[in-house]
Structure 1
Amino acid sequence: MVTNLPAEARAKWIKVMEARTIEEKIRALEEFLSAVPKHKGTANLRLWATRRLAELREELEERKRKRGGRGVSFFVEKEGAAQIVVIGLPNSGKSTLVKQLTGTRTRIADYPFSTNRPVPGMLRYQDIYFQLVDTPPLRPGGGPWNNRVIGLVRNSDAVIIVLNNENDPLKDYLLIKSELEKSGILLYKPQGRVVIEKERAGKTGIRVTLMGKIIDGTIDDVRKIMESYRVYNAHIKIYGIVTLDDVEQALFESKVYKPSVIVINKADLNIEKAKVKAYEIHKLDPSAPIIIGSAKLNKGFEQLGEILFKLLGIIRVYTKQPNGPIADKPLILREGATIYDVARSIHKDFVKKFKYAKIWGPSAKYPGERAGLDHIVMDGDIVEIHVKG
């Protein structure tokens, strides 16, 4: 096992996964933490659990404030193809950036901390929209305010980090990166990663989509690990090179990877400095796209939609009924999605009653190819689902 957890701790973690409400999660996580032995192998897990408890307690207090009509709510309901949280230090220009890109009304001022709550806006890219969420600035030194912003990042699909070219962008980036990593949020793309999408409704079983390699086990071993934690309905996506330890660690969600875009803002004030700092940051984290631009002048961000689209591995699948027209709005899925995901997105009964699918587009060997639930779809596919009865 990753952390050599005793049976009691494993049982407690199962209760954490089964908890539905925040109150239940807090109680279950407290019990889990008390059952985890203190030694070197569990240090990181205990640290993560402690921080996760703090986040949950803060979220609970926030919901109470919202119900009572007091305080500032940090909850932002997801809309569009993906939710992208925009973060930065004071006066980085992130509010100006979100306003320019989405047209949303957000408070902008020349003094720090003018943004005191999350403000969402929609960025259009071709026939889909990304939700950009402006946030209060991260505060050097940490604190409860940072925890609330980081909570937004944890629940998002990706993050845009806005750096002020008037400061030292590299220094600011390292500060923000460190603050996120303390909460188990990774900005660099690991060699391999495991995504576990738990499914409550229906008896879907354990589905494993392998887009990489398990170097010390098989798909059956993955299923056994899931079942040992009483996870019987889930879609396991494996990217890159992973071990069975990575699979088990993914159950704890102690570390999550968030795709990121780095923006060096106010580059118009010193373009050469911005280029040098972009190069220095790229050497540290080569996987993160870097945009050099000016939010105030609305220059340099023309390719942001395309960058987010590719970074998130989004695919658009267009559905049609037999002998019917193609739907105007696509289903938004991720790379590795299958006909199963398409059918389930339309209606959960379509999986139970599934007969076959017909496909036109990049993933089809020929127009109108018949395919089963395991067929992997691609961006631009047109899918027609046929059901029994």
Structure 2
Amino acid sequence: MTVNAHPEYLSAEKEYYKAENDEDRLLALEKMISVLPAHKGAERLRAQVKLRYKKLKEKIENEKKSKKSIKKESIKKEELQAVIIGKTHSGKSSFINLVTNNFTEVGDYEFVTRSPVVGMMKYEDVDIQLIEIPAINSRYYDRGLVNNADVLLIFIERLEDIEEINKLIEKAPGEKIFVFTKSDKLNENEKRKISANLSTKKYNFVIISSYTNEGIEELKKKMFQSFKKIRIYTKQPEDKERSLKPMILKPEISVKDVAEKIFKGFSKKIKETRIWGPSSDYPGQVVGLNHKLKDLDTVEFKTK
């Protein structure tokens, strides 16, 4: 520093470097600007601090526009919902940034996420709602969302964390997937040992890296499978293509049940049903109302 800074400036600068979030850093920069000497010798320092303040303020404003950090009461539960939990720095925010259109702050300081963050993830032709909640070792942790989750993604970067996390979620009824993160920092031998350990304990798990994308598609697939749902498409008799979006339904559902899902009483109006897909013996097979459908089947109804 080429200028003799006032003690108040040095104190504010200390606050800046100790701050745990961008809002506190911005306040510290405001103090630094307010107590900077007014003489010509401090012009360069003043310009540097003001530029730092401007960039940080823009960053905060941009994040507020793009980040969907929402109170629990305002979260509308979608058909497929998974809740992401883990300790601080376990890679939760990096993952949700990768697989959704959200931007969630990722930082070197603890407890970056302080309220639930919601995003929609695509898996093939379905949308899965992801909710990242604050770290389990923070005062912002939300037990209610965990206990209501259909699927829990438990992010860990150390095997030692599993026992502690299991105690906190033992009453949660949702399907659980352990997600061992930051695999880009592991060698192949370390990955094998982790896999062997988790397999021995019969955990449903995936080893991933949000940096290299390792394991991401496998995790998406396991996530969808954990919901125990099937995708059924519909098709109009005059159309060549099936519907773009499938119906998300329970396994072993019948043709009649699908018709009633479209609207009540529809099954009574059906003259003929044809199906394409895993449950058919051949494309366009004619089946009865009691025929059980499988994932990725397409159903065509002809009415009376």
- Same-fold status (TM-score > 0.5): yes
Deviation for aligned residue 1:75: 4.5
Partner of 1:191: none
Residues 320-368 of structure 1 deviation map (CA, whole Å, 9 limit, x = unaligned): 2233342222212232222233223322232454555322222123443
What CA distance in whole angstroms lies between the structure 1 residues aligned with 2:167 and 2:196? 19
Partner of 1:329: 245
Partner of 2:12: none
1:79-228 equivalences under 5 Å are 79=78, 82-139=80-137, 145-146=140-141, 148=142, 150-164=143-157, 169-181=158-170, 184-185=171-172
**Contact kept? 2:183, 2:214, Cα under 8 Å:** no
Deviation for aligned residue 1:92: 0.9
Partner of 1:278: 195
Check if 1:294 corresponds to 2:294: no
| Aligned positions, number | 233
**Contact kept? 2:97, 2:104, Cα under 8 Å:** yes
Cα RMSD over matched residues? 2.7
Partner of 2:19: none
If the length of structure 1 is used for normalisation, what is the TM-score? 0.53
Q: What code does the residue aligned with 2:110 have? A: P
Check if 1:78 corresponds to 2:67: no
Percent identical: 35
Partner of 2:301: 385
Partner of 1:309: 224
Q: What code does the residue aligned with 1:362 have? A: P
Deviation for aligned residue 1:136: 0.9
Tell me: CA distance 1:156–1:340, structure 2 relative to 1, closer, same or farther (3 Å): farther
Deviation for aligned residue 1:99: 0.5
Residues 205-251 of structure 1 deviation map (CA, whole Å, 9 limit, x = unaligned): xxxxxxxxxxxxxxxxxxxxxxxxxxxxxxxxxxxxxxxxxxxxxxx
**Contact kept? 1:74, 1:152, Cα under 8 Å:** no
Q: What code does the residue aligned with 1:128 have? A: V
**Contact kept? 2:155, 2:179, Cα under 8 Å:** yes
What CA distance in whole angstroms lies between the structure 2 residues aligned with 1:300 and 1:363? 30
Q: What code does the residue aligned with 2:148 have? A: N
What CA distance in whole angstroms lies between the structure 2 residues aligned with 1:274 and 1:324? 49
- In structure 2, list runs of 5 or more residues that go unmatched: 1-69
**Contact kept? 2:184, 2:211, Cα under 8 Å:** no
**Contact kept? 1:74, 1:118, Cα under 8 Å:** no
1:254-265 equivalences under 5 Å are 256=173, 258-265=174-181
Tell me: CA distance 1:74–1:359, structure 2 relative to 1, closer, same or farther (3 Å): same
SS in 2 for 1:304: helix
Partner of 2:286: 370
What CA distance in whole angstroms lies between the structure 1 residues aligned with 2:102 and 2:294? 32
Which of the pair has more CA radius of gyration?
2
Deviation for aligned residue 1:268: 2.8
Tell me: CA distance 1:295–1:360, structure 2 relative to 1, closer, same or farther (3 Å): closer
What CA distance in whole angstroms lies between the structure 1 residues aligned with 2:257 and 2:74? 27
Tell me: CA distance 1:261–1:370, structure 2 relative to 1, closer, same or farther (3 Å): same
SS in 1 for 2:90: coil
Partner of 1:231: none
**Contact kept? 1:264, 1:274, Cα under 8 Å:** no
Deviation for aligned residue 1:376: 1.2
1:29-40 equivalences under 5 Å are none
Deviation for aligned residue 1:73: 3.0
What CA distance in whole angstroms lies between the structure 1 residues aligned with 2:75 and 2:181? 25
SS in 2 for 1:303: helix
What CA distance in whole angstroms lies between the structure 1 residues aligned with 2:227 and 2:270? 29
Q: What code does the residue aligned with 1:116 have? A: R
1:341-356 equivalences under 5 Å are 341-351=257-267, 353-354=269-270, 356=272
What CA distance in whole angstroms lies between the structure 1 residues aligned with 2:137 and 2:130? 20
